[in-house]
Structure 1
């Protein structure tokens, strides 16, 4: 039987990671403008820097949710053998897909956080054309992709855990005794 506590903990961690990833997309630096300091050196000023913290927090919460689910299912490969059948097959499929989406979500959140944290400070060369210096900015949609894959990770992790619990429950039922004394189980 699946544990409601495990399901609710993993769901809560993944939901918080999803919300923070959406928040990171909404709070990323949209505009950057060039300012000039006293000695006349141009530098970039950015509108917001909160999305880096949101992205790292989402990354860590998603990692914690995945760790709780993998400890509860013994990473699908350790522990007693599961009962063969459709529940084990579906659990295996969801296991592979949840790890694939987890890796993609973590990479999107990490890349978005690192790229958003990188801000061009001072420009050491002068621009001959008179155009303003380029200010490094994060592309739109990186955190949104991380949020989408966070949602998929949450979905497939929950399904993996439910199918794993079903298969585990089916493995705990002893086979029926078919006639005789019943020494076939020994």
Structure 2
């Protein structure tokens, strides 16, 4: 971060981790578990659910972990905004704080969607009695939960990049201020 320029490596890693998380979230949405009702062969009026592949749960957990890794990277590089030396007052610091808070909000929403989707997708019902329930379908994850996680992953990526760019601008102002300060001369009183 010399001379107010953000690290290209950090930006590339940040974007790559978010895009991988986005890809996993989209894959999880497309591969959600589906179930079908099958009658029990030896029982009367008893049915059970048969589910297809449960790979969406793994994709959801993968998206969760890559997004968590991306957030850990940006917080580690910037020292979570609150640790380290202070930032130069001004527009860059104000925007850095706004983007910091916004990225955390979207990060928490994305992680909640991804984890809730993974847990709910892994939940499978077994047996149901069709006499008491009537018409029913096997419980599955509602469409769009992983999609919402994917959308908030993109929002988090954009806000994190903007936070990092404004953070480095504001950090550069600290360096210039420190270098440009003159020493206070001490004089003796007569």
With normalisation by structure 2, the TM-score equals: 0.87
- Residue of structure 2 equivalent to 1:36: 39
SS in 2 for 1:183: coil
Counterparts of 1:165 and 1:28 in 2: how far apart (Å)? Answer: 40
Alignment of 1:34-183 (within 5 A): 34-40=37-43, 41-123=46-128, 126-128=129-131, 131-174=134-177, 176=180, 182-183=182-183
Q: State the distance in 2 between where 1:157 and 1:112 align.
A: 23
C-alpha contact 2:22 2:154 (8 A) present in aligned 1: yes
Tell me how large the CA RMSD over aligned residues is: 2.0
| SS at 2:109 equivalent | helix
- Give the gaps of 5 or more residues in structure 2: none
**Which sections of structure 1, spanning at least 5 residues, go unmatched?**
none
What SS is found at the alignment partner of 1:184?
Answer: coil
Equivalent-residue separation in structure 1 for 2:31 and 2:18 (angstroms): 20
1:78-131 per-position Cα deviation (integer Å, ceiling 9, x unaligned): 0001111111111000000000000000000111111110011223xx322684
Q: Equivalents in 2 of 1:79, 1:130: separation in Å? A: 60
Q: Aligned partners of 1:173, 1:133: CA distance in 2, in Å?
A: 68
Aligned to 2:6: 2
- Tell me the TM-score normalized by structure 1: 0.88
Alpha-carbon separation, structure 2, partners of 1:47 and 1:157 = 37
CA shift for structure 1 position 32:
1.8
Q: Aligned residue pairs: how many?
A: 179
Deviates more, 1:95-104 or 1:33-42: 33-42
